[in-house]
């Protein structure tokens, strides 16, 4: 089945907004084993919209059109859809009633120009939008089934998942269920993960499991797309592969599916009634900022401390003793222990960074020394991250959070990662 996407709107065409709707649509379809073959973006222009609809209708079996369903004069999708389909616009009493009740529930009167949103090509199939007033619909143009969706991301997502994906899957004729299993990791590059996981697809009885990756530094997402006759069949196929992936990626798996690294760290701390202090230098608050705003973090994040001068770090955590000349694992341990004692939190992490001198450049590196302390235990790690100021900063934030996860989960804090220049030997 050949699928195309048409994105409409001057804001996207002029780059006022980056087209994240398209990447969302195509990723979501990929997750269900469907591929987008061609994408077209045109503005709010009658002539270009008509041509885009006609061309796609000649080439494709299914077309998803995004945008242009709003109430204003520059929203042209229904009008041009009707023209391209060779039918008139007709009022959908069903959708008009739905909109009126939508406004009534919010104690508001529907403005007259919203009526335009209930004008659909005659004979169109309505695609429900439970979270907005833009009515989705499907019509045939040329040899393709066209699905019209709203430009508001929240409304698009709901409609795509609930209304369009099932129709596309039915259109493929394959009566299969699809499931996406995801693993998030930090410290393994995409090609390394690909090599580590060689052959795992073959472990599924009767096949049906496809391995894929999505890299967004510093994290890597490993995806298993599973097709089966139903969810039981899917779980039967997935189980041995899932287990093997979890085992081969091992300690590097920081979260699965919709969970996040900061969410896992927060949950681990909450589970033991723990509190946290974070001491930062070059990352300047970015580690604390990943956990701090999460719901529930108000009872966990006791204190965050930022200082760029090492002398000031010492003062802020009440470190007593001679101030060391250079940053080492031992220094980080001393700072983390002092921070834990001073603030009375159960856990304290210090992430100290010794940055290279000079201008930013691709070889620019930073040496990270980090330590995690409780009243009775301390663990630490040293690493050199290369790749420019931003790369060092992003890497250090992720390494700090991931080491904290490892510490809380009883895993080794020191394990070689692909993004460091080779861990230097401990000085102890």
The verdict on 42 binding a second copy (CB under 8 A) reads yes
Say if strands 177-186 and 365-373 run parallel, antiparallel, or are unpaired: unpaired
What is the closest distance, in whole angstroms, from the C-beta atom of residue 308 to a second copy in the complex?
4
113-to-5, 110, 116, 118, 152 alpha-carbon distances in Å: 28, 8, 6, 10, 18
Coil/strand/helix, residue 190: helix
Q: What's phi and psi for 183, nearest 5 deg? A: -120, 135
Distance CA 401, CA 182 (A): 20
Binding mask 185-224 for a second copy (x = CB under 8 A): -----------------------------x----------
The verdict on 316 binding a second copy (CB under 8 A) reads yes
The verdict on 64 binding a second copy (CB under 8 A) reads no
Segment holding 223, helix H or strand E = strand 219-228
Distance CA 301, CA 378 (A): 19
- Residue from 24, 102, 103, 217 binding a second copy (CB under 8 A): 24
Distance CA 28, CA 165 (A): 9
Coil/strand/helix, residue 110: coil
Distance CA 43, CA 209 (A): 39
Give the sheet arrangement for strand 177-186, strand by strand.
209-216, 219-228, 177-186, 253-256
**Which range in 98-106, 164-172, 300-308, 369-377 contacts a second copy by CB under 8 A?**
300-308
What is the closest distance, in whole angstroms, from the C-beta atom of residue 21 to a second copy in the complex?
10
Tokens 């169109």 belong to which residue?
124
- Residue from 286, 346, 367, 380 binding a second copy (CB under 8 A): 286
Asked whether 385 and 368 are in contact (CB, 8 A), the reply is: yes
DSSP 8-state code for residue 424: P
What is the closest distance, in whole angstroms, from the C-beta atom of residue 299 to a second copy in the complex?
8
The verdict on 155 binding a second copy (CB under 8 A) reads no
Distance CA 371, CA 333 (A): 5
Binding mask 382-411 for a second copy (x = CB under 8 A): -------x---x------------------
Residue nearer to a second copy on the CB measure, 17 or 202: 17
- Residue from 1, 33, 41, 122 binding a second copy (CB under 8 A): 41
- Residue 27: CB partners within 8 Å, gap ≥ 6? none
What is the closest distance, in whole angstroms, from the C-beta atom of residue 411 to a second copy in the complex?
26
**Which range in 34-42, 242-250, 327-335, 415-423 contacts a second copy by CB under 8 A?**
34-42
- Residue from 120, 152, 159, 288 binding a second copy (CB under 8 A): 288
**Which range in 107-115, 143-151, 169-177, 299-307 contacts a second copy by CB under 8 A?**
299-307
Segment holding 185, helix H or strand E = strand 177-186
Near a second copy in 1-20, by CB under 8 A: 13-20
176-to-2, 26, 63, 172, 203 alpha-carbon distances in Å: 18, 19, 21, 10, 20
DSSP 8-state code for residue 163: I
- Residue from 1, 33, 40, 192 binding a second copy (CB under 8 A): 40
Near a second copy in 319-348, by CB under 8 A: 343
The verdict on 34 binding a second copy (CB under 8 A) reads no
The verdict on 289 binding a second copy (CB under 8 A) reads yes
Query: Which residues contribute to the site for a second copy (CB under 8 A)?
Result: 13-20, 22-27, 30, 35-43, 45, 48, 52, 55, 214, 278, 280, 282-289, 291-293, 295, 297-299, 301-309, 312, 316, 343, 360, 389, 393
């Amino acid at each position: 089945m050949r699928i195309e996407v048409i994105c409409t709107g001057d804001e996207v065409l002029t780059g006022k907004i980056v087209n994240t709707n398209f990447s969302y649509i195509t990723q979501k379809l990929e997750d269900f084993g469907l591929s987008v073959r061609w994408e077209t973006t045109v503005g709010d222009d009658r002539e270009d919209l008509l041509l885009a609809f006609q061309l796609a209708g000649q080439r494709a079996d299914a077309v998803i059109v995004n945008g242009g369903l709003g109430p204003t004069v520059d929203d042209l999708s229904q009008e041009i859809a009707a023209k391209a389909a060779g039918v008139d616009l007709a009022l959908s009493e069903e959708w008009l009633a739905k909109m009126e009740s939508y406004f009534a529930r919010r104690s508001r009167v529907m403005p007259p120009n919203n009526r335009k949103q209930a004008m659909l090509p005659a004979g169109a199939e309505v695609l429900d939008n439970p979270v907005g007033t833009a009515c989705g619909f499907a019509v045939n143009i040329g040899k393709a089934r066209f699905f019209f969706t709203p430009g508001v991301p929240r409304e698009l997502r709901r409609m795509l998942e609930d209304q369009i994906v099932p129709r596309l899957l039915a259109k493929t004729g394959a009566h299969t269920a699809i499931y996406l299993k995801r693993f998030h990791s930090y410290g393994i590059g995409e090609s390394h993960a690909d090599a580590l996981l060689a052959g795992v697809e073959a472990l599924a009885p009767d096949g049906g499991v496809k391995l894929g990756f999505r890299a967004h530094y510093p994290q890597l997402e490993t995806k298993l797309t599973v097709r089966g006759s139903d969810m039981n069949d899917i779980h039967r196929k997935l189980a041995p592969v899932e287990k093997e992936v979890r085992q081969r990626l091992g300690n590097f798996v920081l979260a699965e599916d919709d969970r996040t690294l900061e969410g896992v760290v927060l949950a681990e701390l909450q589970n033991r009634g723990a509190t946290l202090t974070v001491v930062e230098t070059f990352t300047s608050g970015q580690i604390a900022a990943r956990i701090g705003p999460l719901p529930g973090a108000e009872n966990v994040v006791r204190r965050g401390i930022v200082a760029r001068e090492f002398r000031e770090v010492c003062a802020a955590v009440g470190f007593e003793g001679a101030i060391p000349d250079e940053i080492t694992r031992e220094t980080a341990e001393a700072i983390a222990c002092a921070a834990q004692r001073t603030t009375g939190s159960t856990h304290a992490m210090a992430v100290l960074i010794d940055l290279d001198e000079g201008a930013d450049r691709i070889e620019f590196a930073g040496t990270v020394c980090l330590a995690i302390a409780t009243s009775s235990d301390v663990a630490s790690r040293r690493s050199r991250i290369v790749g420019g100021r931003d790369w060092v900063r992003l890497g250090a934030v992720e390494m700090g959070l991931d080491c904290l996860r490892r510490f809380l989960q009883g895993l080794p804090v020191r394990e070689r990662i692909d993004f460091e220049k080779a861990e230097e030997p401990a000085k102890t």
